[in-house]
A and B are shown apart, each in its own frame.
Chain A
Amino acid sequence: MFQFINTLLIGVTAGSIYSLMAIAIVLVWRSTRVVNFAAGGLALASSFVGAAILEKSGSFWIALPVAMLAGAVFSAFIEYFFLRPLLNRSGEKNQEIFLPIIATLGLLGIIKAVLNFIYGDRIGVIPPPLSDKGFIVSGESIALSPLRILILGIVLLLMIVLTIVFQRTNLGLSLRAASFAPEISRLAGIRVDLIRTAGWAISGAAGATAGILQTTNGSGSIAPESFEFSLLLVFGFVAAVIGGIESLVGAVLGGLTLGIILAIILMYVGGSLVFFAAFLILILVLLVRPQGIIGVKGGRRA
């Protein structure tokens, strides 16, 4: 029983981090209809920034917001200088989603190469800001540590902030409107180009947070060729697709589903099946609902 609860706790923590990454993917998809693989590279780059700030300042609480800001700036930069010209070129008939995907893969490669150039064999370190030792309950150690509570707290806080921004602010209304109906939004006076950049920036900040939390929840260190970040990108994307790629709530559900099921498989079945299980979960969900858990049938025309 303890073991099962622990497995769930581990799964929820990992899943909440996947959710953040999924949110990063969903935000970009909603604002520009681009599957953004560069998000993994952006998370990695901003985590390196976070590690550098942590080294200088010694404070996780300074490093995290700075990394988020860096992620937002990097992401907005990429949207403005790469994706916008590319999408303007391919024009309105945006049926070819393959090209933007490939472009973001190229960007991912360039980001990793640049990080490799700067860091080489050196690694960035983000040790857990709080103890990762589980609490002891009636003699047994449960997997709920101060660190896990912190991670879950940060993710929850971000989700609340995002919900408020999306539902209660002018920026949120603009973001929603621009993603549903760009043309009508422009006619209503929304600067859709600017709003898209803002969507990418928020995505970058979410991805940066995911990167920092993934690092501190995992090995505590990052390298340009970090396996943990490939995982984060793949599972974040899979979570986003499970959730229906359009929906922030879906991204959260997808991330938690994935995190919990993978933790159970890791504990009770075997480590080498985890990746295949991710594929199976995805295809099972999509067989029942080809638009994901919270997807819109037939896709959205806008």
Chain B
Amino acid sequence: MLKIENLTVDHGAIRALHGVTFNIEKGQLAAVIGANGAGKTTLLRTLSGLNKASEGAAHWGEHNILHAKPESLVRHGISHVSEGKSVIPELTVADNLDLGALWRRNRKEAAKSKQDVVDLFPRLGERLSQRADSLSGGERQMLAIGRSIMSKPELLLLDEPSLGLAPLVIEQIFQAIRELTTAMGLTVLLVEQNAMGALKIADIGIVLNLGSIAATGSAAALRDDPAVRAAYLGF
């Protein structure tokens, strides 16, 4: 279970997150929605160790994940796909994937993870030897998620996977994300600007506003909440 209590993060003089508290059960898909600047990205970056928290606590199972480095959190099953198709364009698709599993001792399992990724995203399998900068936006996002799966994560932190993608591609990506929880049993914290799409696939939703939680609840309930609809879903 991911348990976050009173999480507060400052960027210099600016308070980006203010006393954020919520829980996610194992195997759940949670969508974090909110306007630009609500603190969604900061939340993910803090959970993956890229940003420092000023106050509060965050636990993944028994493990305290604040004040740990990203490279060691990966080893504890927490993987973060950062905003904007986080792949390395100069490397090949295969290299990008392998990168996620370099720390894993068991090469057989790593090879199995690669097979999982190729099964999930067959288009990556066809392009293993191409450089990542030759991929389309959607393929890059698949690659970024694929690299993350290579790290054998239990908790996946996804930052705006739909950013800049065509509607059809977004649907594919969202379906794949849903599959990660249903079929592979991962816990996913999905940060999205595309609130409607995210709430459609999520189990629970968390609405952030100016660094604080504005609403939480089941994704279905949030979808029907008039206030949320007006503010974030646009109708």
Instruction: Point out residues on A near B: beta carbons under 8 Å.
Output: 170, 173-174, 176-177, 180-181, 183-192
Contact = CB atoms under 8 A, between A and B. Distances in A.
A190 B103 contact: yes
B82 A183 contact: yes
B99 to A, nearest CB: 5
B50 A188 contact: no
B13 to A, nearest CB: 16
B108 to A, nearest CB: 16
Chain B interface size, under 10 / 10 to 19 / 20 to 34 / 35 or more: 20 to 34
A176 B79 CA distance: 21
Given A170-B102, A173-B99, A183-B50, A188 B151 contact: yes
Residue from A184, A191, A192 whose CB has the most chain B CB atoms within 10 Å: A184
User: Looking at A180, A181, A185, which has the most chain B CB atoms within 10 Å of its CB?
Assistant: A181
B120 to A, nearest CB: 18
A190 B150 CA distance: 13
Contact of B74 (A170, A176, A187): A187
B69 interface: yes
Contacts of A192: 71
Given A180-B88, A181-B88, A183-B50, A188 B82 contact: no
Nearest to A300: B90
A301 B80 CA distance: 20
Counting chain A CB atoms within 10 Å of each CB, the highest count among B91, B98, B99 belongs to: B99
Given A177-B88, A180-B90, A181-B88, A188 B69 contact: no
A192 B70 CA distance: 10
Nearest to B144: A184
Query: A interface, by DSSP: helix, strand, loop or mixed?
Result: helix
Interface string B30-72: 0000000000000000001010000000000000000001110
Contacts of A181: 88
Contact of B98 (A173, A183, A186, A187): A173
A178 to B, nearest CB: 10
B139 to A, nearest CB: 16
Identify the interface centre among A181, A184, A187: most chain B CB within 10 Å of its CB. Answer: A187
B87 interface: yes
A177 B71 contact: no
B75 interface: yes
A185 B90 contact: no
A184 B88 contact: yes
B48 A189 contact: no
Contacts of A186: 50, 69-71
B96 to A, nearest CB: 8
B233 to A, nearest CB: 30
B95 interface: yes
Given A173-B98, A173-B99, A187 B82 contact: yes
B147 interface: yes
Interface string B5-27: 00000000000000000000000
B187 interface: no
B161 interface: no
A187 B48 contact: yes
- Between B79, B87, B90, B150, the greatest number of chain A beta carbons within 10 A of the residue's beta carbon is seen for B90
B63 to A, nearest CB: 16
B100 interface: yes
29 contacts: A173-B91, A173-B95, A173-B102, A174-B99, A176-B95, A177-B88, A180-B88, A180-B90, A180-B91, A183-B82, A184-B82, A184-B87, A185-B99, A186-B70, A187-B48, A187-B74, A187-B80, A187-B81, A187-B86, A188-B102, A188-B147, A188-B150, A189-B71, A189-B74, A189-B75, A189-B100, A189-B103, A190-B99, A190-B102
Given A173-B99, A174-B102, 15 more contacts: A170-B98, A173-B91, A173-B95, A176-B95, A180-B88, A183-B50, A183-B82, A184-B82, A184-B87, A185-B99, A186-B70, A187-B70, A187-B79, A189-B74, A192-B71
